[in-house]
Amino acid sequence: MAHAKQPKCLFCGETFQADARNAKHQKYCSQPLCRKASKAASQRAWLAKPENQAYFRGPENVARVQSWRAAHPTYWRRKSVPKVKTPLALQDVCHAQPVELKSDSPTLAHPALQDALQDLLSAQPAALIGFIAQFTGSALQEDIARTSRRLVKLGQDILAGRVGGGDQTRDLARAGPSDSRAV
């Protein structure tokens, strides 16, 4: 009995063992890239036929697609994913800031950033900014930035054990809009 000649894949050029049920028609091997090329060639051949060129166009095809979607409402939805035991966080974890033990260190790293509220509080939640505005009675960025610097300094002093007299908290009470400049 004569052996059938093994075909060459049209994509990779390697010989392959064709499926016995489809040996006369199989032109591509079973490698993933070759299967992808086979699919693309098949789609090009289908779209090249005159009766298929307007298959996706026109009002009758729009109605056909809409009726199919109405009959299969859950087709496009993703399959349910098994529930993960750890819930996904909606935002990143806010890590605590390290406490500096130097008493002469400036509150901000760079002097150019001392008056910029966006730079000072870019990682802080909006609730904190709202609280500071309520606390000082002013929604001006200069006042909020000034109060934020004082609160950070006070918090660093408390955490480092450098709590002075009552001067620091009295300064915060006076940080309201009375000493702010007009915009």
Confidence of residue 109 (pLDDT cuts 50, 70, 90): very low
Determine whether 107 is exposed, middle or buried from the number of CB atoms within 10 Å of its CB (0-12, 13-18, 19+): middle
Helices 141-159 and 126-136, axial angle in degrees (round to 10): 100
pLDDT > 80? residue 85: no
Secondary structure tally for the chain: helices H, strands E = 6, 0
- Of 122, 95, 120, which is closest to residue 106 (Cα–Cα)? 120
Question: 3-state class of 8 per DSSP?
Answer: strand
The predicted-structure confidence for 161-177, as pLDDT tens digits, reads as follows 887 555 545 544 444 45
Look at residue 3 in the predicted model and tell me its pLDDT: 58
- pTM (global) more than 0.75: no
The pair of structure tokens assigned to 154 is 């006070």
